[in-house]
């Protein structure tokens, strides 16, 4: 399946690249209002951007529902948040690199009794070598794209019925590493030479393409979905890689990066600020609206990717009504 290289080449604009560079030096807009009594869902909340963002929302009075991989760290986070801020901090345990667990936790989210006011897809991974999950998916693609897609898809009806949620995809300017877009017939890098930057860019591009279609589903319902670049900040991402990568990250890369407090400030603004009511389908560099790379705006590719993803996850359009036990059973047998 060929990529639209000629089309994208014509669509790239120097003004957009210069705007990205300029925006990288800008501080995020801030919102000082409270968020008392609201419920915020955050994936990957025990470290990095997710942890600081969880504390930010809790400090503003929000209750939390965190989706984490580690039970012990989740218990510690719960105790810390509830003791320090006096809000509720629940958690669900799921490894988002495993589709079976994503399907399971999506079912738990569908049945959650309280409405979701903000849903932040933050969990991430960065790999320098190709790694497949037990279900055969390239891991970066699975964690950054497929997990968030499945959760959003299976929550469509719940969120539309509640009519109050802001979905925020923690994306990245790294989507620009997929310069010529996705190769839809090789999403798991079976036929191409693997590159950590390119696979990361492809996963983030896929995530933003899905945003176009989800925005259609949520139109007029009170539910919005946006993507944001969290800034060049220091996180624990990449610890899965070898000692050489970790040394360079610690002694070189991290010394040039900002505190994740910058990201948390932006995520609070995007989730709580009244001026963003109804704003949907946009990409923000922190809190500044920005035109992303052309491949993320290709609706024809977005529609093809949507169908491919449903098939890949073993889902059908009517699965929005509820996650099927047969989906999980079939995966267990695969």
**What per-residue confidence (pLDDT) applies to 6?**
82
Phi, psi (5° rounding) for residue 186? Answer: -150, 50
Cβ atoms of 313 and 52 closer than 8 Å: no
Contact 271, 57 (CB under 8 A): yes
Question: What are the pLDDT digits (tens) for 3-49?
Answer: 678 889 989 999 998 999 898 888 999 999 999 999 999 999 999 99
Report the half-sphere exposure of 205 (CA within 13 A, side-chain side).
28
pLDDT tens digits, 89-133? 999 999 999 999 999 999 999 999 999 999 999 999 989 899 999
Tell me the pLDDT tens digit for each residue of 205-234.
Answer: 999 999 999 999 999 999 999 999 998 664
236 pLDDT band (50/70/90 cuts)? low
- 159 and 223 Cβ atoms separated by less than 8 Å: yes
Task: Return the sign of the alpha-carbon dihedral for residues 175, 311, 94, 319.
Answer: positive
Contacts of 37 (CB under 8 A, 6+ apart): 61, 62, 63
Q: What are the backbone angles phi and psi of residue 10, rounded to the nearest 5°? A: -70, -25
> Which whole number is the average pLDDT over 284-311?
97
pLDDT in tens, 57-90: 999 999 999 999 999 999 999 999 999 999 999 9
DSSP string, 4-18: -HHHHHHH--HHHHH
Q: Which CATH superfamily is domain 5-333 in?
A: NAD(P)-binding Rossmann-like Domain (3.40.50.720)
Would you say residue 200 has pLDDT above 60? yes
DSSP code, position 250: I
CB-CB contact of 67 with 54 (8 Å) = no
Look up the pTM and report it: 0.89
Give the tens place of pLDDT for each residue, 131-157: 999 999 999 999 999 999 999 999 999
Tokens of 280: 């949907």
Confidence (pLDDT) at 315: 96
Give the list of residues 6+ apart from residue 304 with CB closer than 8 angstroms, or none.
184
Q: Report in angstroms the alpha-carbon separations of 223 from 48, 54, 68, 117, 275.
A: 27, 21, 24, 9, 15
SS3 track for 313-328: HCCCHHHHHCCCHHHH
Strand partners, 121: 169
Q: Domain coordinates of the chain in residue numbers?
A: 5-333
């Amino acid at each position: 399946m060929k990529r639209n290289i000629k089309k994208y080449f014509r669509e790239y604009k120097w003004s957009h690249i210069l705007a990205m560079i300029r925006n990288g030096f800008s501080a995020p807009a801030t919102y000082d209002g409270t968020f008392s009594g609201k419920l915020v869902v955050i994936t990957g909340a025990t470290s990095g951007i997710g942890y600081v963002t969880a504390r930010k929302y809790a400090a503003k009075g929000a209750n939390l529902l965190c989706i984490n991989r580690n039970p012990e760290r989740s218990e510690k986070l719960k105790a810390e948040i509830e003791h320090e801020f006096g809000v509720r901090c629940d958690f669900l345990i799921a490894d988002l690199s495993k589709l079976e667990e994503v399907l399971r936790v999506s079912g738990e989210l569908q049945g959650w009794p309280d409405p979701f006011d903000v849903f932040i897809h933050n969990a991430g991974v960065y790999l320098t070598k190709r790694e497949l999950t037990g279900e055969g998916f390239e891991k970066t693609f699975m964690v950054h794209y497929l997990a968030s897609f499945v959760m959003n898809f299976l929550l469509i009806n719940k969120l539309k019925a509640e009519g109050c949620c802001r979905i925020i995809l923690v994306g990245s300017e790294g989507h620009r590493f997929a310069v010529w877009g996705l190769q839809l017939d090789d999403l798991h890098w079976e036929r191409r030479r693997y590159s950590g930057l390119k696979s990361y860019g492809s996963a983030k591009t896929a995530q933003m393409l899905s945003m176009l279609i989800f925005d259609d589903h949520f139109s007029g319902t009170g539910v919005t979905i946006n993507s944001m670049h969290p800034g060049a900040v220091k996180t624990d991402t990449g610890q899965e890689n070898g000692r050489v990568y970790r040394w360079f990250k610690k002694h070189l890369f991290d010394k040039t990066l900002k505190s994740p407090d910058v990201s948390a400030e932006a995520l609070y603004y995007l989730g709580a600020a009244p001026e963003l009511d109804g704003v949907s389908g946009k990409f923000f560099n922190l809190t500044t609206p920005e035109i992303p790379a052309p491949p993320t705006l290709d609706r024809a590719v977005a529609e093809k990717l949507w169908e491919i993803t449903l098939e890949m996850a073993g889902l059908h359009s009517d699965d929005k009504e509820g996650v099927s036990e047969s989906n999980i059973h079939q995966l267990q047998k695969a």
